[in-house]
């Protein structure tokens, strides 16, 4: 493992709970002492499909939150949308099932050393890591506001749970079926103009992350985003999850989302080049 994954372990967690919540599944795993090294923004790579599967690559899932309380010891919560073959298999598991996983992987959100005004912005079920992050920020004395957005209300994960974790919660849907109508990014510029936010933490579709970075540009607000790029190996070997990121001198290189991310400085990601083949200077 690289330095960023120095605490990663291959483990055999047990499924403690698998509950349907709207369009998603809330899956609780008994992972033991590994939770002591898990931070908001980390992810878990799971060997999906069972013993005879042809799906040889692990699937990466964001960690929603971890807990060390209760009789089970260390537990980990995942919010999974049963879209692909691997995620459908995971969502089909019964309580007591054992899986093969590696965690914690990837970079985590930076936590301020003193209280700040934090805005958490999530899109769809991509907002899952923000719930655990909100708890950590609140424990540090931060004011935490959360904006959740989606195309329709059924894609907003557990809005009441989000409300309990933060100072204020606002929901935006493009079809107006829940909360306010419009995109979740719409009110951010006004908040920045009013000096009501110091740092933005975001998880969700790449288009949403790009839009937030554009809004924040030119201000003193820090934008930490968890990029959504498909990961094949999850440990930095295959190079399938690279995205263009500038360094402090403005030089753009391809960084691996699984090793250099998924949490990145939104101001350094070259959003206009994402998904494109970079030009090579002879």
pLDDT digits (tens, 9 = 90+) for 60-72: 999 999 998 767 7
State how far the Cα of 111 lies from the Cα of 63, in Å rounded to an integer.
16
User: What's the confidence (pLDDT) of residue 276?
Assistant: 75
pLDDT digits (tens, 9 = 90+) for 212-261: 999 999 999 999 999 988 887 778 888 888 999 998 888 999 999 989 99
pTM, full prediction: 0.91
State how far the Cα of 32 lies from the Cα of 14, in Å rounded to an integer.
10
CB burial readout 163-187, b (16+ within 10 A) else e: eebbeebbbbbeeeebbeeebbbee
Instruction: Give yes or no for residue 53 having a pLDDT over 80.
Output: no
User: What's the confidence (pLDDT) of residue 162?
Assistant: 66
pLDDT digits (tens, 9 = 90+) for 126-180: 888 998 999 999 999 999 999 999 999 988 887 777 677 799 999 999 999 999 9
User: What's the confidence (pLDDT) of residue 70?
Assistant: 65
Instruction: Give yes or no for residue 278 having a pLDDT over 70.
Output: no
The structural domains of the chain, ordered by start, are: 3-105 (2.40.30.10), 109-226 (3.40.50.80), 232-282 (no CATH)
Check if the beta carbon of residue 45 is closer than 8 Å to that of residue 86.
no
User: What's the confidence (pLDDT) of residue 3?
Assistant: 66
CA dihedral 230, 232, 235, 238 (to 10 degrees): -110
- pLDDT band of 1, cuts 50, 70, 90: very low
> Quick one: what percent of the chain has pLDDT higher than 90?
68
User: What's the confidence (pLDDT) of residue 282?
Assistant: 46
Instruction: Give yes or no for residue 281 having a pLDDT over 60.
Output: no
User: What's the confidence (pLDDT) of residue 13?
Assistant: 95
pLDDT digits (tens, 9 = 90+) for 72-123: 779 999 999 988 888 999 999 999 999 999 999 999 999 999 999 999 999 9
pLDDT digits (tens, 9 = 90+) for 24-34: 999 999 999 99
pLDDT digits (tens, 9 = 90+) for 178-195: 999 999 999 999 999 999
C-alpha pair distances (Å), 181 with each of 34, 123, 213: 41, 14, 22
* Phi, psi (rounded to 5 degrees) for 277: -85, 120
User: What's the confidence (pLDDT) of residue 50?
Assistant: 77
């Amino acid at each position: 493992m690289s330095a960023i994954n120095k605490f990663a372990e291959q483990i055999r967690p047990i499924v403690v709970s698998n509950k349907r919540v709207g369009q998603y599944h809330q899956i609780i795993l008994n992972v033991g002492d590994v939770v002591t090294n898990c931070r908001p923004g980390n992810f878990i790579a799971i060997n999906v499909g069972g013993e005879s599967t042809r799906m040889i690559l692990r699937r990466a899932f964001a960690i929603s939150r971890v807990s060390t309380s209760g009789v089970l010891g260390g537990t980990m919560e995942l919010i999974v949308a049963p879209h692909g073959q691997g995620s459908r298999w995971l969502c089909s598991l019964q309580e007591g099932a054992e899986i093969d996983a590696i965690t914690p992987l990837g970079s985590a959100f930076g936590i301020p050393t003193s209280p700040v005004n934090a805005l958490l912005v999530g899109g769809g079920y991509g907002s899952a890591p923000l719930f655990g992050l909100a708890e950590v920020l609140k424990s540090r004395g931060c004011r935490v506001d959360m904006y959740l957005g989606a195309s329709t209300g059924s894609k907003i994960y557990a809005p009441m749970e989000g409300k309990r974790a933060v100072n204020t919660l606002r929901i935006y849907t493009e079809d107006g079926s829940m909360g306010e109508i419009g995109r979740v990014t719409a009110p951010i510029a006004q908040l920045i103009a009013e000096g009501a936010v110091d740092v933005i933490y975001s998880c969700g579709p790449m288009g949403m992350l790009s839009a937030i970075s554009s809004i924040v540009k030119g201000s003193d607000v820090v934008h930490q985003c968890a990029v959504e790029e498909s990961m094949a190996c999850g440990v930095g070997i295959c190079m399938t999850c690279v995205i263009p990121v500038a360094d402090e001198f403005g030089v753009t290189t391809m960084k691996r989302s699984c090793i250099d991310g998924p949490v990145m400085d939104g101001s350094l990601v070259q959003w206009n080049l994402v998904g494109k083949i970079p030009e090579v200077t002879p």
